[in-house]
Chains A and B, each alone.
Chain A
């Protein structure tokens, strides 16, 4: 265990990694928010594909000596917009994603194989490298988050409408198709940020699990959003803090916390749902339905 956890000099360590903690908190916030729509729109699979292309972009940038964040953003947004344009129907979308994902991963592996630099850089893109967040990288992250946050605030309500009931939303004049593209771009930006921090393979723990857990315990849209943000920030920042005293990278900590939150929410939710369905069944106005 002494290899895993050594909390001596923890204070000094904290001072060294305040950049990473700030980055983690911001990522947890943005990831928690966007995960609400990832779940409502049933897109976890798409997120995974976007993160593989983001990985390809980042490793390409590493190979050619370009800005890695910029490379990861390019790959991510390209994938997100492609999926948005080619896969408007769920079935098309899954096949587009299934084709894009291995292509992105293969491209990334190729770039990394050709790359002759530090091998820690290579591994970091796949499994996370938050302790290495430097000030320019942090500025990129903050700027990207600001764009996503402002974008989400503006489109939140119509996007929520379009995600829950696209037909009804279209009937009310919501530009459903355009909103879908806007959402894919915001998602692309968030995924690119997550790749920088938790790595391409583990993005879903930040961009899917928080809302998936929150939706198990409540149906109130406000409470889901707040819980999702708390879960997102909690797992990323918690993961960073735990990883400080260890030799293990941050990702296993983030994914484990995130997973445990989900498990607890499932158990709590299963109890809640039993109570709710009992209530509904006992209401006098409820009449048994023939066809559903």
Chain B
């Protein structure tokens, strides 16, 4: 699905991370966390082939579904929700031919994110949360084997966050899609996550949530004392340097 071997990325003299080896298996849900500027988005870009690694290799199966960060869309963009999802299906193909069953697949993808009734609305008039659900449908419509999510929950209300994460989880269980999920907040994905990759201060740690989310591990990553507390199945982290956090 996805394999990084001794991967490293640097901008000039600034090393984001190095010696990163990670293998994501089919159906596995891996969350990527870390401070701002720790290279989470660069990791996603490297996996997509949009950014060259400065060390090591990355191997990916064909068929990546990509859910980017929420971004405002121009109000007048001449696309409806159904057209945006359609681009995930055949937007990369040359010519004008359309495959059979296209409409049905688009409808199914929109239904799966509770957005069937938005199909005919211009993408520009939808709220941020609605646009993001449409983007998830766009990423899933072609049936990818690896789903890359880059902060897809940012700016979503709690209900939409649950809808999106539950949908991603169902997808990997039913279709064996591997999931790499970049997020700055562990709690929304806590019920689903198998392993965590935590990036901070040029270092990283890979393991299950109980292995990584300890005061000792995070303190070591950040280089300052960090306190991890679990309350009612929620993980609270205190003491992360503000300069590195949003």
Contacts and interface: CB of A to CB of B under 8 A. Distances in A.
Interface of A: 36, 39-40, 153-158, 160-161, 164-165, 167-174, 211, 214-216, 218-221, 224, 273, 276-277, 279-280, 283, 285-292
A280 B121 CA distance: 8
A199 to B, nearest CB: 28
Contacts of A280: 121, 125-127, 130
Given A40-B78, A161-B87, A224-B78, A290 B95 contact: no
A170 B124 contact: no
B50 interface: yes
B238 to A, nearest CB: 23
A198 B130 CA distance: 43
Contact of A170 (B50, B127, B135): B50
B88 A172 contact: yes
B80 A219 contact: yes
Contacts, number: 122
Interface of B: 48, 50, 64, 66, 68, 72, 76-80, 83-84, 87-88, 90-96, 114-115, 117-118, 121-130, 135, 138, 148, 154-157, 159-160
Residue with the highest number of chain A CB atoms closer than 10 Å, among B80, B84, B127, B135? B127
Given A153-B96, A161-B91, A286 B130 contact: yes
A219 B91 contact: no
Contact of B127 (A40, A160, A173, A286): A286
Nearest to A279: B121
Given A221-B79, A283-B117, A289 B129 contact: yes
Contact of A219 (B68, B79, B159): B79
Contacts of B126: 280
B155 A220 contact: no
